[in-house]
Amino acid sequence: MKMLLDGEWVDRDKKINVTDPFDNSFIDTVPQASTDDAETALAAAVEGFAITKRMSVYDRAQILFKTASIIAGDLEQFARTIAREGSKTITEARKEARRTVNTLTCSAEEAKRILGETIPFDSFPGGEQRKGYYYRFPIGVILCITPFNDPLNLVAHKLGPAFAAGNSVILKPATVTPLSALRLVEAMVMAGMPPMAIQAITGYGPQIGDTLVKDERVRMISFTGGLEAGKHIASIAGIKKIGMELGSNSPVIVWHDADLDYAVESCVSGAFWAAGQNCIGVQRLYVHKDIYDTFKTRFVADTKKYKIGNKLDEKTNMGPMITEGEAKRVERWVAEAKTKGATILTGGKRDGASFEPTVLENVPEDATIHYEEVFGPTVNLYPVDDLDDAIRKANSLPFGLLAGIFTKNIDVAFKAAYELDCGGVMINESTDYRLDSMPFGGIKYSGLGREGLKFSLQEMTEPKVVCFTLPKM
Ligand code: NAP
């Protein structure tokens, strides 16, 4: 596929191969953009903003509604693109494609609800003759940098609200999964988006990133990805708005009175969805000691039913990791935990980029797999018997995206909701739940700011005050 630069779909002599991580089969190429291309994108995005800021809300919303309907009408092709270039099975990919339709539809709806308020200037002496209000205006050029694990919907989470608010965008999708992003941009242009409104630039982040991130024409960076890249970007961005959706190692507490059938089903799915490459995937399970053995037996039995394989096969439950290198990293971390005393209850083996769904217990606190974000198909079980202790352990690491608790006791649920330090607490659900329109984001190293259409629109606009001083009447 080509990239969209300065209003044209362009190719380059230097190309990047896009391959299926399951069997390394070739899918397509994308151009390898240079820093000159990044400069072109910056200049074009400024021109793009001159167009988007003058478009009516109605026109912007119609384009987003139409993009959503193009994707809805071609859902299977979008799902196949997600499944082939990334890690997801076709079933997981279809869900992502359906969510993308919802994300774009909600963005279009929210475009019509970018509101201001009147301001009571006469609430302080001297303001008697003043009347006014504030309205929200678009920020300008937004640099959107996206990860591989939701290669379509997480791009829609940036392009939808950015355009709904009247901004122009430079999109830098993950190099391993650029095709879903480019197909989304194609659909937006087909739906009537001025091509200058989006620069979709494909290339290696560490090569072209600094040129884009440092530039003062970029007024906001909306980044979703890992902590390391996030820290680098924040350190060189200068004076501009930054939104960061980073990783986590999500904790879930299973209390003694939980509905065990549902807790097991929800936590197994939450641990291994997208081969565990999921920012809200379950990584640490704190299980009450009274039900620990029963929970463990059922959890391991359900995990063993998982079938890894060809992602396009309807019967496959889990695909490979995104690269063999990533699978080797998880293999090393599991081996390190074992050396330090952890027990592997099931899984632990690698075949190419595929890593078995793996359940561990007795994981010591100094094992990497305990305190880092694994972003792979592993989960640790820990017995607990005191709620304060469970919450303290859940909060003990420097991440805080989502947390979960399974209990039928309202007091336990409320205590957890208020005392778990994170951006959201799921009661009777694993952490792997997100409604695309809810406020979504983390605290500590999990991020800065919130996404979720209405909330993204707040981040991607600024209030401007208008104050009239009237003659005395
Ligand atoms: P990543 O390696 O940090 O890459 C994310 C994006 O940043 C890619 O487009 C990458 O480009 C780009 N990038 C890397 N270095 C850069 C630099 N120096 N300057 C500019 N851009 C740079 O993350 P990933 O492996 O794709 O995704 C996994 C991470 O994302 C996990 O930590 C996960 O938790 C997090 N995540 C968070 C959320 C959330 O909403 N909180 C959602 C999904 C994922 P290249 O591909 O060219 O390297």
Q: Which residues are catalytic?
A: 245, 279
Within 6 A (CB) of ligand 1 lie 145-150, 154, 172-175, 204-206, 209, 213, 224-226, 229, 232-233, 245-247, 279, 373, 375, 401, 447
Residue from 82, 85, 145, 399 whose mutation best tests the ligand 1 pocket (most atoms within 8 A of CB) = 145
Residue 67's pLDDT is what? 99
Q: Does residue 451 carry a pLDDT above 90?
A: yes
Q: Using 50, 70 and 90 to split pLDDT, how confident is the model at 184?
A: very high
* pLDDT tens, position by position, 38-70: 999 999 999 999 999 999 999 999 999 999 999
Q: Report, as an integer, the average pLDDT of 218-225.
A: 98
Residue 241's pLDDT is what? 98
Q: Which domains does the chain have, with CATH numbers?
A: 3-246+446-466 (3.40.605.10), 250-427 (3.40.309.10)
Q: How far is the CA of 226 from the centre of ligand 1 (A)?
A: 5
Residue 472's pLDDT is what? 87
Instruction: Work out the mean pLDDT of the chain and round it to a whole number.
Output: 98
Residue 217: φ, ψ to 5°: -70, -25
Residue 117's pLDDT is what? 98
- The whole-model pTM stands at 0.98
Q: Report, as an integer, the average pLDDT of 439-455.
A: 98
Residue 336's pLDDT is what? 98
Q: Does residue 473 carry a pLDDT above 90?
A: no
Ligand 1, atom 12: closest residue by C-alpha: 205
Q: Using 50, 70 and 90 to split pLDDT, how confident is the model at 348?
A: very high
Q: Does residue 413 carry a pLDDT above 80?
A: yes
Q: At CA 392, angle to CA 386 and CA 398, rounded to 5?
A: 155
Look up tokens 């409320």; give the residue: 414
Residue from 3, 245, 438, 453 whose mutation best tests the ligand 1 pocket (most atoms within 8 A of CB) = 245
